[in-house]
Amino acid sequence: MSDASRSPAIVWFRQDLRLADNPALLAACESGRPVLPVYVLDDETPGDWRPGGASRWWLHHSLADLDRALQNKGARLHLRKGPADRVIRELVEQTGAGAVYWNRCYEPFATERDARLKAALKEAGVEARSFNGSLLAEPWEIATKDGGPYRVFTPFWKALQARGAPPAPAPEPGSIEHYAAHGSDELDAWGLLPTRPDWAGGLRKTWTPGEAGAQTRLEAFIESALDDYSEGRNRPDRESTSRLSPHLHCGEISPRQVWTAVDAAAAPPDANAAAFLSEIGWREFSHHLLHHFPRFPDANFQSKFDAFPWRDGDEAFRAWTRGETGFPIVDAGMRQLWETGWMHNRVRMIVASFLVKDLMIDWRKGEAWFWDTLVDADLANNAAGWQWTAGSGADAAPFFRIFNPITQGRKFDPDGAYVRRWVPELGEMPADLIHAPWEADSVTLAGAGVRPGETYPDPIVDHGEARKRALAAFNALKDAA
């Protein structure tokens, strides 16, 4: 029977850019219909939360990888640009599609759009089904005894674990009966890659986007870092974290695949596997919060922070973004971010605390900078991380927990290897002074080739005084409450 005599099933790819363990793709292949794989670049519906520069670079390569994988199965990825609900309806009309399948996204703009589209398709007599391809559990499936959402991570994590291990991930389809539609865009025409200037050299050296790259990254982590994860995850000077976050965000690998692989590698389970899986649990918690509190990315979860006296600090913010604050661990993190599109999680907390508490700059400015520069920019995770550090979020670190960048550097980068890599102008400083070069005498500085204020900036704030200022502002906020 020819494609023309049977209506196709559209598989709308979104944050699930893989073939294996993809419930929407599996449902389409099992439907008996020819399959039209589609990706829609929708920069209108998300508004300010459309993908940032680093995410767009990643997306280009991930889509190219997905198209190659589909070609190996006898299909091609169809590309369209525009408001996704409109584009999908147009494709249905153009192809006579009888079904549209997709895996759910949880951003507020996405859930509203998807509900609107599903209703319109069903009214038109088109089968419309959505699936969970991104989480271990749907955000609405985990509830407190009162039936409400969790606001604290530990009981949420216990409730999620009580459900038991997730089902085994499904394999990729053996082959795909393809429906070829006309009018696909060319990926290069979307302009997702930077050209003038091309700032993505460090990203290319660091990452391999795509499903195969995700599996390689997972295997390398299990082989070389899982056994020391509980301790090693706090050391930015070591390759001790999984670096799976961008692959998870784009759906090049599913949390079920990650869980199953780690669980099998650490049989019986140990403290290292438990620590790593709790990070998968934090990702689930972040999506739980985003679903139940849709304004989480741009509004203080704790409303008392609405009156916090944030400072403008344009010059200080610029120094922070450029890695020129004069605090080596902060500058190393910000330069790593700019060069690679990623930053070690411990250092993310340090640089976020510095921005919010030392500089007293609104956490939303930092969130927006991360959104544009992170290859793993994820609305739920990014908002949860910033609100946690700012003290304004759910289960947040208390505001008075202010990271000292000097002691944090000395504790978690004791030999200065991380700083030496990303702040090479301090490369010859002795380990005991590299995190506070202003404490060195003139002879030591000269021997290391460091001229304060010239080759490396002086600190833009006095941490002790900045800490007092931030605590005074917070205490005034409490007194006024």
Residue 49's pLDDT is: 97
What is the model's pLDDT at position 6? 85
Residue 204 marked as a ligand binder? no
Q: Which residues of 412-429 are buried (b: 16+ CB within 10 A; e: fewer)?
A: bbeebebbbbbbebbeeb
Instruction: Find, among 88, 106, 113, the residue nearest to 38 by Cα.
Output: 88
Which pLDDT score, from 0 to 100, does residue 3 have?
Answer: 42
Q: Is residue 455 marked as binding?
A: no
Looking at residue 396, its pLDDT comes to: 79
Q: How confident is the model at residue 1 (pLDDT cuts 50, 70, 90)?
A: very low
378 marked among binding-site residues: yes
pLDDT of residue 269: 79
Tokens of 235: 């050391």
Neighbour count for residue 274 (Cβ, 10 Å): 15
Q: Mean pLDDT over all residues of the chain?
A: 96
Q: CB of 46 within 8 A of CB of 107?
A: yes
Q: Is the pLDDT of residue 158 over 90?
A: yes
Q: Residue 480's pLDDT is what? A: 63
Residue 2 confidence (pLDDT) above 50? no
Question: Which residues are marked as active site?
Answer: 279, 282, 310, 345, 363, 386
Q: Quickly state the pLDDT bin for 481 (edges 50, 70, 90).
A: low
Chain segment 94-152, per-residue pLDDT in tens: 999 999 999 999 999 999 999 999 999 999 999 999 999 999 999 999 999 999 999 99
- 230-244, 306-320, 465-479: least confident range: 465-479
**Which domains are delineated in the chain?**
9-133 (3.40.50.620), 135-167+210-292 (1.25.40.80), 303-479 (1.10.579.10)
pTM: 0.96
Residue 244 annotated as part of some ligand binding site: yes
Please indicate if the annotation marks 99 as binding a ligand. no
Q: What is the pLDDT of residues 46-77, one digit of tens each?
A: 999 999 999 999 999 999 999 999 999 999 99
403 marked as part of a ligand binding site: no
Does residue 446 have a known ligand-binding role? no
Asked if pLDDT for residue 5 goes beyond 70, the answer is no
Q: How confident is the model at residue 360 (pLDDT cuts 50, 70, 90)?
A: very high
Which residue in 75, 250, 243 sits closest to 172, CA to CA? 75
The closest of 22, 38, 34, 15 to 172, measured between CA atoms, is: 22
